[in-house]
Amino acid sequence: MKVVDYKAELQNELQDLAQKNKKIGFVPTMGALHKGHISLIKKSVSENDITVVSVFVNPNQFNDKNDLKNYPRFIDKDVELIKNAGCDFVFTPSVKEIYPKEDNRIFDFGDLNKVMEGKQRNGHFNGVAQVVSKLFNIVKPDVAYFGRKDFQQYVIIKKMVKMLNMSIEIVDCPIVRETDGLAMSSRNLHLTDIQRNNSSLISKTLFKARNLTNKLSVKELKDWVVDAINENPFLDVEYFDIVDDLELKSISNWQENNNKVGCIAVKVGKIRLIDNVNFNL
């Protein structure tokens, strides 16, 4: 496996391989890797000739400068994990390499980035689109892998690829969870032991909620989830919504003919955790 810091070097290597008709899979990450990330890398390795993983903490997607400063960074450990997963190239660019000059592009995703995470984190998805579009232009993958853990991000990246006429297949991968159900996240590292233990209530409540769709209306079920989690003194729900998986519009009844996803954000002290489950009946 090669570790590459410069886009020109990576492009040289990949151009040769693309000319030989090698299928290139790509997994963008911000590092601090866990089994969730590794599952994406392994999927790419099993489905492509060549896998590229990027590790880049993208300043443009952080609306909270403290969050950026405190974002966990373990590059040596990450490189070891990526190598063990069978990857071929790790791209570890500097901020200057990705943004030699300021990126002022504004993406119009319609309502997709005005709801849920987009509403809570102003400019976040625009920053995500800036970096992912740049990385796509450098790597030129055939396929790129995204976790359903960040469900809204996955939907927005699919839209971005369409808007920019990029011929890249976007593949979604299931959420990898800890044994007690908590969705794996680099942010879990910041939780104290007691916060960590109480956080498992988030996924437990979402799983229980899936069994209540024949007893409660959409509105009643949403209230039930929020109340059940907020009863815990360590947890504070920012939002919970059940949306369709294409337009991310709130659904109003269970009979609607679309795929439904229940998305939640919860504050645990200063840490924000997100999770989601399918509500397909």
Which two tokens mark 133? 């579009």
Q: Does 141 bind ligand AMP (CB under 6 A)?
A: no
Q: Does 183 bind ligand AMP (CB under 6 A)?
A: yes
Contact 14, 24 (CB under 8 A): yes
Contact 24, 50 (CB under 8 A): yes
Whether 124 is a known active-site residue: answer no
Residue with smaller CB distance to ligand AMP, 35 or 114? 35
Residue with smaller CB distance to ligand AMP, 73 or 119? 73
When binding is defined by CB under 6 A, the residue of 44, 54, 113, 185 that contacts ligand AMP is 185
Angle at 53 between CA 48 and CA 57, to 5 degrees: 155
Selection from 251, 276, 247, 248 nearest residue 262 by Cα: 276
Selection from 196, 198, 224 nearest residue 210 by Cα: 224
Q: Does 60 bind ligand AMP (CB under 6 A)?
A: no
Q: Which residue sits closest to ligand AMP, CB atoms considered?
A: 147
Minimum distance between the CB of residue 252 and ligand AMP, rounded to whole angstroms?
Answer: 28
Which spans in the chain are helix H? 7-19, 35-47, 65-70, 75-84, 95-98, 117-120, 124-139, 151-163, 193-210, 218-230
Residue with smaller CB distance to ligand AMP, 39 or 198? 39
When binding is defined by CB under 6 A, the residue of 50, 98, 160, 173 that contacts ligand AMP is 173
Minimum distance between the CB of residue 223 and ligand AMP, rounded to whole angstroms?
Answer: 27
Which two tokens mark 22? 């090698």
Q: Does 92 bind ligand AMP (CB under 6 A)?
A: no
Which two tokens mark 140? 């030129």
Residues 4-43 touching ligand AMP, rule: CB under 6 A, are: 29-30, 36-37, 39-40
Q: Does 146 bind ligand AMP (CB under 6 A)?
A: yes
Minimum distance between the CB of residue 152 and ligand AMP, rounded to whole angstroms?
Answer: 10
Q: Give the whole-angstrom CA distance, residue 29 versus residue 209.
A: 31
Instruction: List residues binding ligand AMP (CB under 6 A).
Output: 29-30, 36-37, 39-40, 146-147, 149-150, 173, 175-176, 183-186
